[in-house]
Structure 1
């Protein structure tokens, strides 16, 4: 697990749509922290800090540290509401995490050796990504920053399934816990139109 991102937040008492609009005009983002044995807490966060955090892949999948009135809280981002047209954050939901309690969250996939992939380099295919993240369950201390998918040996027509992924110790895929019929595609190497045309031409010559 990578070092936790640290963000500051201030507790707030004024809630509602009107209050939220006033906060956004002041470049503040309303948020809520919930979960654990504590009551939910309404907070505000600086818009500039949130915009910067949104550019980081880890903000969406890693353990975050929120500093609220001088106290650190370990959380993960559970939901983000964006403006439908401008895409900026309008509201954030954070869930508290405890070191001894397993969490369920999404982790990004990093695809390796795509240009060197056998099905692409030697057989003229193209890689199709069926998903770019997976849902995992693990203790907070075992949460990986990402999961690698090595495409080097995948041939034309080949597939990478969830069961093919190499997971860190203590991490399980939620889908696989539901049964073999949930062993979904992660990526595949498919023939391109040019490849099909070449094959058709070769067949005609024969």
Structure 2
């Protein structure tokens, strides 16, 4: 279920890229808190505590903003694509008992049948759940599944009180027959032929062919010479 940790936040009055860089250098994270008709509150969060709290998706935090407490759902966490550090967080104010729509990750476990390939078509499922009881993941087992097995969104087991928002017919996991190396090469050759791709003969193959031709010519000349001598 969703994490609910208490974090002290500070209101911020400086904005822009320069201010954000200064905040991050101080091991803090710029964030904005909004929802329920309130004006957005721009805050600064402690870096290490926030990083730990947001390890789980859809974390719910209890924010103490200079004496005022707010329950907040981490709606959007922006990370540096290289360093993976948190650059900014969008937080939505929620109420106890309130239901929210969130995307929950799908975790596939188990080993499918021999010579099969397991493909995850939907890595998350959109559901409606109580803000303080959001599932961390949905577990889908493919143990022993044969080629041709398909698991749809409506077949994924959901906890009590959680309602599926994603189309029930959406394909989540697909188990197919693994293609052999020979079949893969044949398909590749067919595709290249249709595309008009021709492979140039390699130097080694060309040299081999030239050598064989030279040997053939020599043998033929030898035979002619013996015929003349006879």
Task: Answer yes or no: same fold by TM over 0.5.
Answer: yes
Partner SS, residue 144 of structure 1: coil
Shift in Å, 1:149: 1.2
Unaligned runs of 5+ in 1: 198-206
Shift in Å, 1:153: 5.3
CA contact (8 A) 1:98 1:140 kept: yes
TM-score when scaled to structure 2? 0.70
Please name the residue that 1:64 is paired with: 61
Partner SS, residue 36 of structure 2: coil
2:66 is the counterpart of 1:75: no
Partner SS, residue 71 of structure 2: strand
Partner SS, residue 38 of structure 2: coil
Q: C-alpha separation between the residues in 2 aligned to 1:138 and 1:86? A: 32
Please name the residue that 1:204 is paired with: none
Q: C-alpha separation between the residues in 2 aligned to 1:83 and 1:62? A: 19
* Aligned pair partner of 1:133 in 104, 124, 143: 124
Listed as ranges, the matches of 1:91-102 within 5 Å are 91-102=88-99
Please name the residue that 1:49 is paired with: 49
Farther off after superposition, 81-90 or 157-166: 81-90
Please name the residue that 1:88 is paired with: 85
Superimposed CA distance per residue, residues 117-169 of structure 1 (whole angstroms, 9 cap, x where no aligned partner)? 3x2xxx32122112222111122244222222122353212111101111122
Partner SS, residue 168 of structure 1: coil
Q: C-alpha separation between the residues in 1 aligned to 2:59 and 2:115? A: 37
Please name the residue that 2:190 is paired with: none
Shift in Å, 1:175: 1.9
* Aligned pair partner of 2:179 in 187, 193, 199: 193
Q: C-alpha separation between the residues in 2 aligned to 1:153 and 1:192? A: 15
Please name the residue that 1:33 is paired with: 33
Q: C-alpha separation between the residues in 2 aligned to 1:127 and 1:195? A: 18
TM-score when scaled to structure 1? 0.77
CA contact (8 A) 1:142 1:169 kept: no
Partner SS, residue 166 of structure 1: coil
Q: C-alpha separation between the residues in 2 aligned to 1:96 and 1:3? A: 15
Question: Which structure is larger by alpha-carbon Rg, 1 or 2?
Answer: 2
Unaligned runs of 5+ in 2: 184-230
> Which structure carries more relative contact order (alpha carbon 8 Å, separation 6+)?
1
CA contact (8 A) 1:124 1:195 kept: no
2:161 is the counterpart of 1:170: yes
CA contact (8 A) 1:125 1:195 kept: no
Farther off after superposition, 79-88 or 101-110: 79-88
Give the superposed CA RMSD: 2.5
